[in-house]
């Protein structure tokens, strides 16, 4: 994929010029993004969706697919599995052949099972679940299936890289407090933190799980952190739960280092202030990474979307770019789309991101990708939240080093 611009007029001209053989009607590839666009999780959901918009625009700038522009359908799941299930029905009725979502693993589990069942009933009209951000480990373990692709990390990948980087940089400390959201994703974080903190020779002094995006006052948890004597807090919290946790830590004047996966959620550094300095973030991308290709990407994104690609947006962009490479491996000659052929192509596709290669592991459909470690610093090139702070790149972890082995619980049954 090239990061050069092409106008929408040129895209329409190009795709209209690609005629289906014999005048047959080409099936347009429709991608449905079912995400939280309102409510407490919207800060994360909107970021993933903006990345998807940009990524689909790039697919169309490269010529679209199957003789037409790729169409992105957007649905607000209203933050819960029930809403997502209803929107899935609407998306399928509208002709979506690829469904995506990101932020909530509870939503992802619902969509994954619904899509699996739909595909069993509708052979030849299957739907691919192209998940770009839900990280519950079970999705590529005991709940894995052929039609599910995880195009982001999972807690074991992230925490492995985060803890080892903090240990190598002598900032991990000896006493670690583990606090996470009480659902599949947060529970995976708790397990991963225990595993990799122990491997690093440190101790989890206390581990706490709490309700997801329902806690309005984290001060009781901060009191526990203080009483534990922890030097570092490691948490997989996202959306309001990380913002309010950091704010409570700041209000209490507690001096602890934080390691997290979502410190770049909009508003987090603005709320945390100088307390966030020295905190570590593990993420798929950092604005300082990637040299000239990375600079070209972030500047083009800013031109198209209006701001640099922060937070979750690069995940959607890069995942869609890998999808674009997979689409190059299939040719439906302007006819119907075969989702099985697209899924098999995704297993073979490779794409070179600004920081290294992306590919999908056929065993469990987990994407194998490089990730970045950053430190909150005033020396960061790109400031965020109208503060004097940003995320200074510490290191890029190569794809092979970031990966963890597939779960033996994944018993994928492939279509005949």
User: Where do the structural domains in the chain lie, given as residue ranges?
Assistant: 8-153+288-368, 156-283+370-402
| 262: nearest Cα among 292, 236, 300, 226 | 236
End-to-end CA distance of the chain: 32
Q: What are phi and psi of 38, to 5 degrees?
A: -145, 165
CA distance 122 to 215: 42
The more confidently predicted of residues 239 and 125 is 125
User: What is the rounded radius of gyration, in angstroms, for the C-alpha atoms of the chain?
Assistant: 21
Look at residue 166 in the predicted model and tell me its pLDDT. Answer: 95
pLDDT top residue among 183 and 306: 306
Query: 8-153+288-368 adopts what CATH topology?
Result: Rossmann fold (3.40.50)
The candidate with the shortest Cα–Cα distance to 398, out of 362, 335, 337, 353, is 353
pLDDT bin (cut points 50, 70, 90) of residue 24 is low
Q: Indicate whether 94 pLDDT > 70.
A: yes
Quick one: pLDDT at residue 282?
Answer: 98
Whole-number percent of the chain with pLDDT over 70: 94
pLDDT at 235 over 90: yes
Mean pLDDT for all residues in the chain: 92
Question: What's the average model confidence in pLDDT over 305-318?
Answer: 94
- pTM (two decimals): 0.89
Q: What is the pLDDT of residue 80?
A: 84
Q: Kindly indicate whether the domain formed by 156-283+370-402 is annotated with CATH number 3.40.50.2300.
A: yes
Check pLDDT > 70 for residue 23.
Answer: no
Which pLDDT score, from 0 to 100, does residue 69 have?
98
Q: Do domains 8-153+288-368 and 156-283+370-402 have the same CATH topology?
A: yes
Phi-psi region of 385 (alpha: psi -120 to 50; beta: other; left: phi over 0): left
pLDDT of residue 265: 84
Q: In what order do the strands lie in the sheet with 232-235?
A: 203-210, 175-181, 232-235, 257-260, 280-283, 371-377, 390-397
Question: H or E segment at 131?
Answer: strand 128-131
Q: What is the pLDDT of residue 184?
A: 84
Confidence of residue 303 (pLDDT cuts 50, 70, 90): very high
The average pLDDT across 382-403 equals 95
Mean pLDDT of 355-369: 98
132 pLDDT band, cuts 50/70/90, is: very high
Q: Can you give the pLDDT at residue 300?
A: 98
Return the pLDDT at 250. 84
User: pLDDT of 41-73, one tens digit each?
Assistant: 788 889 999 999 999 999 999 999 999 999 999
Contact between residue 321 and residue 341 where contact means Cβ atoms under 8 Å apart: no
Q: How far apart are CA 5 and CA 334, in angstroms?
A: 25
Q: Is the dihedral of CA 78, 84, 85, 88 positive or negative?
A: positive
């Amino acid at each position: 994929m090239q990061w050069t611009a092409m106008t929408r007029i040129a895209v329409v001209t190009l795709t209209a010029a690609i005629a289906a053989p014999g005048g047959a009607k080409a099936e347009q590839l429709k991608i449905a993004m079912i995400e939280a666009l309102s409510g407490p999780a919207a800060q994360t959901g909107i970021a993933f969706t903006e990345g998807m918009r940009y990524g689909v625009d790039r697919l169309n700038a490269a010529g679209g697919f199957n003789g037409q522009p790729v169409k992105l359908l957007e649905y607000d799941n209203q933050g819960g599995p029930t809403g997502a299930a209803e929107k899935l029905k609407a998306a399928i009725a509208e002709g979506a052949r690829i469904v995506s979502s990101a932020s909530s693993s509870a939503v992802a589990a619902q969509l994954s099972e619904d899509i699996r069942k739909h595909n069993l009933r509708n052979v030849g009209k299957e739907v691919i679940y192209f998940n770009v951000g839900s990280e519950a480990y079970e999705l590529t373990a005991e709940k894995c299936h052929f039609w599910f692709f995880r195009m982001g990390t999972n807690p074991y990948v992230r925490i492995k890289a985060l803890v080892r980087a903090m240990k190598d940089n002598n900032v991990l400390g000896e006493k670690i407090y583990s606090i996470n959201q009480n659902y599949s994703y947060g529970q995976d974080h708790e397990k991963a933190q225990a595993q990799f903190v122990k491997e690093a020779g440190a101790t989890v002094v206390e581990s706490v799980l709490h309700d997801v995006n329902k806690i309005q006052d984290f001060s009781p948890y901060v009191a526990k952190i203080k009483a534990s004597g922890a030097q570092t807090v490691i948490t997989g919290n996202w959306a309001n739960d990380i913002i309010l946790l950091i704010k409570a830590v700041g209000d209490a004047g507690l001096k602890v280092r934080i390691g997290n996966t979502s410190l770049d959620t909009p508003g987090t550094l603005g709320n945390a202030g100088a307390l966030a300095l020295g905190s570590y973030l593990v993420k798929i991308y950092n604005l300082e990474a990637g040299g000239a290709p990375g600079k070209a990407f972030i500047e083009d994104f800013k031109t198209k979307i209006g701001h640099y690609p922060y937070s979750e947006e690069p995940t959607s962009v890069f995942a869609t770019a890998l999808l674009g490479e997979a689409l190059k491996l299939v040719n439906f000659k302007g006819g119907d789309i075969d989702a099985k052929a697209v899924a098999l192509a995704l297993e073979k596709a490779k794409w070179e991101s600004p920081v290294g290669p992306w590919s999908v592991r056929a065993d469990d459909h987990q994407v194998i990708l490089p990730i970045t470690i950053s430190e909150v610093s005033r020396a960061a090139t790109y400031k965020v939240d109208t503060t004097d702070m940003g995320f200074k790149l510490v290191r890029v972890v190569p794809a092979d080093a970031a990966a963890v082995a597939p779960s033996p619980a994944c018993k994928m049954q492939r279509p005949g």
